[in-house]
Amino acid sequence: MRQSKKFGWLSGKMATSLVILVSVLSLVMADFTLARQKRNFGGNRGGASVQQRYGGGGSSRNISRSGQQTQRSNSGFGGGVQNRRSGQQRQTQSGSRQTQRGQNQGSRQNQRGDRQGERTERTESRQEGRSDRVEQRTDTRRDIADDIAGNNYWNHHHGYHGGYWHGNDAAWAFFAALTLGAVIASLPPRHETVVVHDTTYYYANGTYYQPASGGNYAVVAPPQGATVQNAPSQVTNVYVGGEEYGYSNGAYYDVQPPKEDGGDPTFEVVKPPVGATVPSLPEGATSETINGTPYFIYADTYYKPFYSGSDVVYMVVEKPKA
C-alpha cells in the first residue's frame, strides 16, 4: 500500500511537470510562429521590430542608410544637372542682353549721327542766311553812301531806316495834339535822349520833349544841332540849291554818313533852308499878316503860302521886315 502511494505521488508530480513543459513549449512555438509571420508578411516597421528583437537590426540600418545614400546621390546628380541647365540659361540670357545692348547702342549712335547731321545742316543754313544778310547789308550801305554823296538818300533809302518806330509812337504824340507847349504825363515807350548845348531833350518819331513841372513832359520845337539815330517814319524829301533834306513836322534833317565802315548814318536837325517847299505846315503853326502878306510862323520860321497847280504849298522865306 505504501509503495503504491509512493508511485502514485511520483506519477502525479511527473504529470504536472509534463504539463508545464508542454505549456512552455507551446508558448515558445507560438511566439516563434508569430515572429515569422511578422517578418514574412508585415511592413517595414514590423520587420524591423522582429529583426531588432532577434538580432536583425544591423541589416535594417544598413539598408536604410543605403537608401538614404542612394537618395542623396540621386539628389546630387539631379541638382548638378539642374545647376548646369540654370548656368546655360543664364549664359543664354546674358548673351541675349548683350546683343540687345549692342543693338540699342548702335541705334542710339545712328540717331546721334542723324541729329548731328541735322544740326550741321541747320548751322550751315543759318551761316548761309547770315552771310546773305551781311552781304545784303553791305550792299545797302554802299548804296546809301552813294546816295548820300549824291544827295538822293531820302528819295531811295528812308524806308530802310524809317521802320524803327511803332505806330503807337506817332499816336502818342498825336493824342498830345503835337502843339508846342502841349504836356504829356509820360514819354513814349521808344524814345532817344538827345543833348544839345548842355540841354537835354527827348525825341520820339519826329517829336521833341523837355521835362516839365510835376514830372510831365512838354512838346518843344525841334532843336537845331540835335542828332538822332532814327529818322521819323514820315519824311518828305525836299531839294534846295541841289541839296537834299528830309522834312518832318517842322524839322529839317540832313543825313550824315556813318562815322565808321559798316555803321549807319545819323540825322542832324539843321536850320530850315530858305526856299524849301513843303506840302503841309507843322502842327501848331500860327498865321500873321505882315505888310498885307499872310505868313505862317513856326519856331521863328516863316512860311509863305502859294499855289502849285491846284494845290497850296508852303515855302520857307526870310523873316519879313515890318
pLDDT in tens, 197-252: 999 999 998 889 999 999 999 999 999 999 999 988 888 989 998 899 999 989 99
Nearest-angstrom CA–CA distance, 296 and 68: 132
309: pLDDT strictly greater than 80: yes
- Nearest CA to 316 out of 270, 253, 274, 254 is that of 274
Give residue for cell 540687345. 100
User: Residue 302 and residue 288: Cα distance in Å, rounded?
Assistant: 10
Q: What is the mean pLDDT of residues 144-152?
A: 75
Which amino acid, one-letter code, is at 191? H
Q: Is the pLDDT of residue 311 over 70?
A: yes
- The grid cell for 320 is 519879313
| Rounded distance between C-alpha atoms, residue 51 and residue 61, angstroms | 10
Residue 157 confidence (pLDDT) above 90: no
Burial degree of 237 (CB within 10 A; 0-12, 13-18, 19+): middle
Name the average pLDDT for the chain. Answer: 77
Q: For residue 183, which of 157, 220, 152 has the smallest C-alpha distance? A: 220
DSSP 42-108: S-HHHHHHHHHHTT-HHHHHHHHHHHHHHHHHHHHHHHHHHHHHHHHHHHHHHHHHHHHHHHHHHHH
Question: In this structure, are strands 243-248 and 227-228 parallel, antiparallel, or unpaired?
Answer: unpaired
Nearest to 238 by CA among 222, 257, 252, 223: 252
CA–CA separation, 33 and 259 (whole Å): 139
CA distances from 87 to 79, 97, 101, 232 (A): 12, 15, 21, 86
Choose between 149 and 178: higher pLDDT. 149
For 30-80, how does the pLDDT look when each residue is reduced to its tens digit (9 = 90+)?
A: 767 776 766 655 544 444 443 444 444 444 455 455 555 555 555 555 555
Cα separation, 251 vs 130, in Å, equals 37
Quickly count: other Cβ atoms within 10 Å of residue 314's Cβ.
Answer: 21
Q: Which tens digits make up the pLDDT trace of 161-180?
A: 556 776 565 555 555 446 88
Question: Long-range contact list for 213-218, CB < 8 A, 24+ apart?
Answer: 215/185, 216/183, 216/184, 216/185, 217/183, 217/184, 217/185, 217/186, 217/187, 218/181, 218/182, 218/183, 218/184
The torsion defined by the Cα of 240, 245, 246 and 250, in degrees rounded to 10, comes to -60
pLDDT band for position 90 (cuts 50, 70, 90): confident
188 closest CA partner among 215, 150, 163, 217: 217
Cβ atoms of 242 and 262 within 8 Å: the answer is no
pTM: 0.57
Residue-level pLDDT at 195: 96
Distance of CA 57 to the CA centre of its chain: 87
Task: Please give the C-alpha separations between residue 174 and each of 3, 49, 155, 186, 297, in angstroms, as whole numbers.
Answer: 180, 127, 26, 14, 20
